[in-house]
Chains A and B, each alone.
Chain A
Amino acid sequence: MTSISMGTSRTTAERLATIRGGAKPKRHNARTIAALTRNPGCARRAVLDTAGVDKQRLAAYIDFPARFGQSGFAIARGNAFEAQVKASGAAELVKLLRERLGLPIPEVAYDDLETVTGREKETAEVRYARSRALLLRAAAGEDGAGTLFDHPLLGLDVAGQRVYLEPDLIAFQHEGRFHVVEIKSFAVVDGQADPGKVSAAAIQSAVYVLAMRQMLAEAGHDPEIVAHDVVLVCPRDFSNQPTAVLVDVRKQLAVLRRQLGRMTKVEEMLAVLPPNLCFDLAPDADGVPTRAPEALVDALQTVDARYAPDCLSVCELAYFCRAEARGCTAALGTSAREELGGIERVETALGLAKGELTPADDQAEAATLLRNAARLRAEVLVAAAGAAG
Chain B
Amino acid sequence: MEALERRIDALRAEIRRSVVARDTARTKGLRAELRIAEQEWEQAISDLAEEAGDPPPAAAGRSSAGSLLPVREQVHHALTLLSVPAAPKLVAEVHAAFFGAAAAGGLAAGKLTHLRRDEKRSFGTAPYARPYYLCAALTAEHLAPARGLVAVSTWPLERRIVGPLSPRVDFLTAAVRVAERAGTVPAGSSTLARLVWRFASNIPGALDIAGRPDTVDPVTVIRAAEAERVVHADADRAHRAAAAERARRQLDQVDQLFGNTLRTLPGKVTRRGGAVSRGNPTVQEKTA
Contacts of A275 in B (CB 8 A): none
**Least distance between A243 CB and chain B CB atoms (Å):** 13
- Count the B residues whose beta carbon is within 8 Å of the partner chain — how many? 48
Closest residue of chain B to A119 (Cβ to Cβ) is B261
CB nearest to A67 among chain B residues: B20
Q: Which of B49-87 contact A (CB under 8 A)?
A: 87
- Min CB distance A322 to B, Å, is 17
Q: In the complex, what's the smallest C-beta–C-beta distance from B246 to chain A, in angstroms?
A: 15
Contact with A87, one of B21, B89, B274, B285 (Cβ below 8 angstroms): B89
Does B14 count as interface, using CB distance less than 8 angstroms? no
Q: Tell whether A146 pairs with B164 under 8 Å between CB atoms, given A125-B283, A283-B25.
A: yes
When A105-B228, A116-B142 are in contact, do A94 and B202 touch as well, CB less than 8 Å?
Answer: yes
User: Given the complex, which residues of A lie within 8 Å of B284, measured CB to CB?
Assistant: 133
Binds B, one of A57-65, A185-193, A262-270, A300-308: A57-65
Chain B residues with CB under 8 Å of A111's CB are: 164
Alpha-carbon separation in the docked complex, A106 to B166 (Å): 12
Instruction: Give the shortest distance, in Å, between A313 (CB) and chain B (any CB).
Output: 15
Q: Which of B3-11, B94-102, B167-175 contacts A (4 or more CB under 8 A)?
A: B167-175
Is B146 an interface residue when CB atoms closer than 8 A count as contact? yes
Does B164 lie within 8 Å of A110, measured CB to CB? yes
Q: Is the CB of B21 within 8 A of A115?
A: no
Q: Is the CB of B22 within 8 A of A98?
A: no
Contact B202 A91 (CB under 8 A): yes
B21 touches which of A60, A106, A112 (Cβ 8 Å): A60
Q: Please tell me if A196 contacts chain B, counting CB pairs below 8 Å.
A: no
Q: How far is the CA of A114 from the CA of B171 in the complex (A)?
A: 20
Within the complex, the shortest CB–CB distance from B106 to chain A, in Å, comes to 19
- Judged by a CB distance under 8 angstroms, whether A228 is at the interface is no
Is A129 touching B164 in the complex (CB atoms < 8 A)? no
Of the residues A60, A112, A129, A146, contact of B283 by C-beta under 8 Å: A129
| Contacts A89-B170, A116-B142; A144 near B232 (Cβ below 8 A) | no
Q: Are B165 and A125 in contact (CB under 8 A)?
A: no
Set of chain A residues within 8 Å of B279, measured between Cβ atoms? 218
A273 at the interface (CB under 8 A from B): no
Q: Which of B87, B90, B168, B283 contacts A110 (CB 8 A)?
A: B168
Known contacts A94-B202, A112-B147, A129-B281: does B261 contact A89 (CB below 8 Å)?
A: no
> What CA separation (Å) do A287 and B87 show in the bound complex?
41
Residues of B within 8 A of A115 (CB): 144, 147
Q: Say whether B259 faces chain A, with CB atoms less than 8 Å apart.
A: yes
- Contact A105 B204, beta carbon cutoff 8 Å: yes
**Per-position binary interface string of chain A over residues 125-146, scored 1 when its CB falls under 8 Å from any chain B CB and 0 otherwise:** 1101110111001000000101
**Contact in complex: B271, A88 (CB < 8 Å):** no
Q: Is the interface of B mostly helix, strand, loop or mixed?
A: loop
Report A-chain residues with C-beta under 8 Å of the C-beta of B22. 54, 56-57, 60
By a CB distance below 8 angstroms, the chain B residues around A386 are none
B235 touches A144 (CB 8 A): yes
Min CB–CB distance B172 → chain A (angstroms)? 9
B174 touches A88 (CB 8 A): yes
| CA–CA, A72 and B109, complex, Å | 18
Q: Which of A69, A129, A144 is in CB contact (< 8 Å) with B285? A: A129
Check A57–B147 contact: CB distance below 8 A.
no
Shortest beta-carbon distance from A279 to chain B in Å: 14
A119 touches B167 (CB 8 A): no
Question: B163: nearest residue on chain A (CB-CB)?
Answer: A109
Assess whether B142 is in contact with A118, with CB atoms less than 8 Å apart. Answer: yes
B87 touching A88, Cβ below 8 Å? yes
CB-defined contacts of B17 to chain A, threshold 8 Å: 65
Binary CB contact string for chain B from 148 to 182 against chain A (1 if under 8 A, 0 otherwise): 00000000000000001111101100100000000
**Chain A 231-268, CB within 8 Å of chain B: the 1/0 string?**
00000000000000000000000000000000000000
In the complex, A109→B276 CA distance in Å?
27
B261 touches A117 (CB 8 A): yes
| Distance in Å: Cβ of B12 to nearest Cβ of chain A | 15
Q: Is residue A83 contacting chain B, with contact meaning CB distance below 8 A?
A: yes
From A7, A54, A89, A283, give the contact of B171 (CB < 8 A). A89
B139 within 8 A of partner (CB):
yes
- Separation of A134 and B164 alpha carbons in the complex (Å): 12
Task: Closest A residue to B283 by CB, please name it.
Answer: A129
B residues less than 8 Å from A287 (CB atoms): 23, 25-26
Interface positions, chain B 235-288, Cβ under 8 Å from A, are: 235, 259-261, 264, 271, 274-276, 278-279, 281, 283-285, 287
B155 to chain A, nearest CB (A): 18
B46, CB-defined interface residue at 8 Å: no
A60, A91, A109, A133: which contacts B281 (Cβ < 8 A)?
A: A133
Q: Whole-angstrom distance between the alpha carbons of A95 and B224 in the complex?
A: 14
Which residue of chain B lies nearest to A65 when distances are taken between CB atoms in the complex? B20
Checking B144, B166, B278, B283 against A7 with a beta-carbon cut-off of 8 angstroms, the contacting residue is B278
A123 and B202 contacting across the interface, CB-CB below 8 Å: no
B201 at the interface (CB under 8 A from A): yes
Q: Please name all residues of chain B whose beta carbon is closer than 8 Å to the beta carbon of A283 when the two chains form the complex.
A: 25
Please provide the chain A residues from 36 to 75 with a CB less than 8 Å away from any CB of chain B in the complex.
54, 56-57, 60-61, 65-69
- Please report the C-alpha to C-alpha distance between residue A92 and residue B202 in the assembled complex, in whole angstroms: 6
Task: Indicate if A345 sits at the interface (CB-CB under 8 A).
Answer: no
The reply on A108 being an interface residue by CB < 8 A is yes
A31 within 8 A of B: no
- Residues 81-100 (chain A) with a chain B CB within 8 angstroms: 83, 87-92, 94-95, 98
B145 contacts the other chain (CB 8 A):
yes
Pairs A–B under 8 Å by Cβ, sample size 12? A57-B23, A87-B89, A88-B171, A89-B170, A105-B228, A110-B165, A118-B146, A119-B144, A133-B284, A134-B285, A137-B287, A218-B278
6 closest Cβ pairs, A-B complex: A89-B167, A118-B144, A60-B21, A133-B285, A109-B164, A129-B283
Residues in chain B within 8 A of chain A (CB atoms): 17, 19-23, 25-26, 87, 89-90, 139, 142, 144-147, 164-168, 170-171, 174, 201-204, 228, 231-232, 235, 259-261, 264, 271, 274-276, 278-279, 281, 283-285, 287
